[in-house]
A and B are shown apart, each in its own frame.
Chain A
């Protein structure tokens, strides 16, 4: 490359700055998703990789294109997929609601503090999020197990006589999710509440509104965007969660993320795993993010 002058040089520099990240994103973000889309239409095939290529060269002239909808028909007709879809929505939805009810007052209190105290309170919220996710879930195994701390505590206080099965249930999964995703709810709520002008509350009170009414008519509508972001940031990862339902939910709790894992690792059915991933992406993640973007505008 011969650079005639300085602007030429800069142009190529700029192109390089764009090219490196763009090439990475195309190769490792866009292409993999087009690829699973493709594989979700291919037939399972014994071998490695365990699916048939959708394009085969029959002779020099003819390329055969084999697409099958079987993976999708299976998902839409088999009860186990319906069950795990409903269960995912139920568990992730309840986790989102509990996070909202727990996170909103926390964010509200933190947002009403002076700036230094805000930073410290927020640091306390974020700190557990930085410690190992896996080990935080593991901590709950010790608390919820039949001989665990919670059961010991309840038995010692005479509240129950026999251990309750907290672990290996939707309940265990739910607690784990609320625990792991609570910071994701608090942070967007906090930034919405911190921007909120306190004088509006005074104005409402001066005009005779009761605190509850002020909250419902002023605070809540003005922090709608934060509520929505928080819910999206809890709901989406919770839907696709694998570790929590695996360790705290046991065999009984089937969720979409876990189902992809089982299809891939245990059943070695890569096309079906891809089809579930495609459905999740198209039916939940894309619409929810689009909805959120529109609401934030």
Chain B
């Protein structure tokens, strides 16, 4: 590629810039020395230390619960929101609705965290609900994730040929049945990627969680954040390595799934006749 020599070298530099920090993070997790930046021989002791770190483990459990719950909630509401955006042409306040859905994607986390905490404090004073903790973190994370789920599902939903639905309804399927039998199978990969993205966003968030969590519950990122503030520790490197491997596996899995779905959709587009079931 003689033509794009300059852009090619920038690309290589960019990839080096993106990946060298991650590689050093992983490399030093196997360091025997307590000093994070000085190599003292190979060891897996920091991984063993992770398993004995009670605070970390219980925080990881909290994060896992919050991420699963909030991702599930976000997917349910996000799919409904996408249906409103794509299918309900007569809905009058659509621009208003679109803005509200997308807003959490663009507003800085610090502001979202502050605004939601102040809401929760007011609600708790008035109704005694919700108590700060897993509940409030879940609601906050779901609110942010709905924006992303809706964006992903809306794109997929508007690519689904409305003829499929019409055909099903002409054949006598109830709209709800048609949704579950026709629409859902066609959009489910976007739902899965939406769920995964929500899970990762929740599992990764430190700012919003710090605002809305009560004094009792801490998520994993909150624990990591406070330990980084007190100084570097190879245990965090070990944890980082585990989390990076986990994410890499999920992403590659999701992209394979997405590829497959693309193929199915293009196959459907290419067949001129009605698909035989």
Residue numbers of A with Cβ under 8 A of B are: 10, 13-14, 17-18, 20-22, 24-26, 28-33, 35-36, 39, 49, 102-103, 105-106, 108-110, 112, 119, 121, 123-128, 130-136, 138-143, 145, 147-149, 152, 179, 182, 236-237, 239-243, 246-247, 257, 260-261, 264-265, 270, 273-274, 277, 280-281, 285, 289
3 cross-chain pairs, A with B, having the tightest CB-CB distances, nearest first: A240-B108, A32-B115, A105-B10
Known: A24-B77, A29-B143, A274-B114. A139 touches B21 (CB 8 A): yes
A28 to B130, CA, bound (A): 13
A10 to B174, CA, bound (A): 9
Encoded as 1 (CB less than 8 Å from any A CB) or 0, chain B from 181 to 195 comes to: 000000000000000
Known: A141-B228, A142-B37, A247-B229. A127 touches B248 (CB 8 A): yes
Majority SS at the chain A contact face: helix
Determine the chain B residues whose CB is within 8 A of the CB of A109 once the complex forms.
Answer: 4, 7-8, 10-11
Contact A240 B110, beta carbon cutoff 8 Å: yes
Contact A35 B118, beta carbon cutoff 8 Å: yes
B40-48, B204-212, B267-275 - interface stretch: B204-212
Contact A131 B21, beta carbon cutoff 8 Å: no
A36 to B37, CA, bound (A): 44
Known: A10-B175, A135-B240, A143-B24. A285 touches B116 (CB 8 A): no
- Is B67 an interface residue, CB under 8 A from the partner? no
Interface residues of B, CB < 8 Å — how many?
Answer: 78
Name the residue on B nearest A127 (C-beta).
B251
Name the residue on A nearest B228 (C-beta).
A138
A110 to B1, CA, bound (A): 12
- Is B88 an interface residue, CB under 8 A from the partner? yes
Using A142-B24, A281-B111 as known contacts, list a sample of 11 further A-B pairs with CB atoms less than 8 Å apart, ordered by residue number in A.
A35-B115, A125-B18, A131-B247, A132-B221, A134-B204, A134-B224, A139-B25, A147-B38, A179-B21, A237-B109, A277-B111
A21 to B210, CA, bound (A): 26
- Is B257 an interface residue, CB under 8 A from the partner? no
Contact B88 A110, beta carbon cutoff 8 Å: no
A54 to B141, CA, bound (A): 29
Known: A123-B255, A140-B21, A240-B110. A32 touches B116 (CB 8 A): yes
